[in-house]
Amino acid sequence: MSERGNVLVVDDDDVYRMVLSSELGRRGFRVRNADCVATAVTRMTEEAPDVALVDLRLPDGDGLAVLRAATGRAASIEVILLTGHGSIDTAIEAMKLGAFDYVAKPCPIDEIEIRVRKALERRAMVQRTALLESGLAMRGKASDFVGCSEWHTATLERIERFAPTDASVLILGETGTGKEVLARLIHAQSLRASRPWVVVDCTALHEDLLLSELFGHEKGAYTGAVGARAGLFEVADGGTIFLDEVGDMSPSTQVRLLRVLESSTFRRVGGSREIRVDVRVIAATNRDLHALIAQGHFRADLFYRLATLRLDLAPLRERPADVPVLARHFAERFGARFGRQVAFAPEAMAALERYAWPGNVRELLHVVEQALIVGDGPRVELAHMPPHLTRTARGATATQGTADGPQASLEQLGRAHIERVLASVGGHRGKAAHILGISERSLYRKLRELA
């Protein structure tokens, strides 16, 4: 059975907590539990559940403390309060503070499951609204894609050829190389530029929710589907849909996507009516799709449909000529935000140029932003740089066997970068995922792979 969502059960009644967790797990949810406020807050920070079922009375505080921690997160958690007979008024007041719902104990497990499903539905709607708000406002400009290397020039020429067509585009490259920037640029230079631009992060949603997001659903398609809803392919009709991290898409979703690419038609979840759309698909991934195809995890026919046109993004370490150009571009951008013009001291620029950049352009962007925050003068000095950039020579670090040297493997570079980011945020995985530009789910997966 596929997981339907991540649920955190917070209750100090050991028997009730374990029975509820077991029943929800049996019904397909991924369940963790906590018996107090402190443990619940730790669970929310480390594991980012979708929904929290929280008892109002806990040994080290009350459910309102958990509610405040949940609603204060960047990626909010839907909270359903578990109440006793004497705390209904408090539960209603908590809903005014942001709780999704409350149930009075004891409550049938079927009723709790319905409430959890509805909470997941609202969370998906919030994420969908954020996708549309960021996606429909087109920001793709040639000025966002800067550089002076031969690779940069050749890539711009290919974009100019690709953009006016309606062919699907597959963009391949490591995390942080700028795949979405190029996708936006292709759309901005296409004949669809004035039409919708919709972004979908294929790692951000569970399989069932992703199907509903992409293709919509009919009323009654599943418990909690109280009305019909259009999917993002319908929203993008006439424009472009960008499928980020398409390599993480489940096999069943791949089948549905292949049908859209082949016939420009699909059915909503739970529906029988064929819906026809005119949508250009741009997809991107940092995964090795050929390896996934060999392992049976990605469909070869879908790969060839997506890769009608293909762009391979070179990592920043393979185009060092772009580093100073990008660094000055980011310094100009952040300098305008901070109200000052900034130049790089020769030693600072040299440090940027000799670094291997395992996190690619995204890492460079964050390093420049940090340097401008640390220093408040007209020049970025070497002292304003993170410690790992101030080493005198990349070759020296290689002979010491560090992960920044030119002989380091890609796996070593990736592990070192993730470890540095985690260290810079005190081990907070949510903040680290934000800096790395990936979902917390993807970060957990990468940590498991690198363990």
Cα–Cα distance, 310 to 334 (Å, whole number)? 32
Cα–Cα distance, 356 to 377 (Å, whole number)? 27
Give yes or no: residues 251 and 188 share one domain: yes
Which of 128, 153, 179 represents a domain boundary (last residue)? 128
- For residue 232, which of 99, 134, 323, 116 has the smallest C-alpha distance? 134
In a domain, 1, yes or no: no
Give yes or no: residues 156 and 98 share one domain: no
Give yes or no: residues 97 and 175 share one domain: no
Which of 280, 314, 348 represents a domain boundary (last residue)? 314
Give yes or no: residues 321 and 310 share one domain: no
Q: Residue 378 has which token pair? A: 């007209």
Q: What is the residue-wise DSSP string for 176-234? A: TS-HHHHHHHHHHTSTTTTS-EEEEETTSS-HHHHHHHHH-B-TTSSTT--S-B--HHH
Give yes or no: residues 196 and 282 share one domain: yes
Cα within 13 Å of Cα(195), Cβ side: 18
Give yes or no: residues 446 and 352 share one domain: yes
Single pTM value for the model: 0.59
Give yes or no: residues 388 and 441 share one domain: yes
Which of 93, 110, 128 represents a domain boundary (last residue)? 128
What is the SS3 assignment for 81?
A: strand
* Domain with 150 in it: 136-314
In a domain, 259, yes or no: yes
Domain count, the chain: 3
In a domain, 272, yes or no: yes
How far does CA 176 lie from the centroid of its chain?
12
In a domain, 321, yes or no: yes
CA 187, 191, 197, 202 dihedral sign is negative
Residue 263, Cβ density class (10 Å: 0-12 exposed, 13-18 middle, ≥19 buried): exposed
Read off the CATH number of the domain in which 431 is found: 1.10.8.60
Give yes or no: residues 154 and 61 share one domain: no
Read off the CATH number of the domain in which 122 is found: 3.40.50.2300
Give yes or no: residues 443 and 415 share one domain: yes
Read off the CATH number of the domain in which 146 is found: 3.40.50.300
Q: Residue 243 has which token pair? A: 């499928």
- The per-residue pLDDT string of the chain (451 residues; one tens digit each, 9 = 90 and over) reads 345 688 999 998 888 888 999 999 988 898 999 999 999 988 887 777 889 999 988 998 888 888 888 876 655 789 998 887 556 667 677 777 788 888 888 888 989 999 998 888 888 777 666 555 554 444 445 557 889 999 999 999 999 999 999 999 999 999 999 999 999 999 999 999 989 999 998 887 778 888 888 998 888 777 666 677 888 999 999 999 999 999 999 999 999 999 999 999 999 888 888 999 999 999 999 999 999 999 999 999 999 999 999 999 999 999 999 999 999 999 998 888 888 888 999 999 999 998 989 999 999 999 999 999 988 888 999 989 888 887 533 343 343 344 444 445 556 667 777 877 776 666 677 777 777 777 777 777 777 666 5
Give yes or no: residues 193 and 243 share one domain: yes
Give yes or no: residues 70 and 141 share one domain: no
Give yes or no: residues 261 and 387 share one domain: no
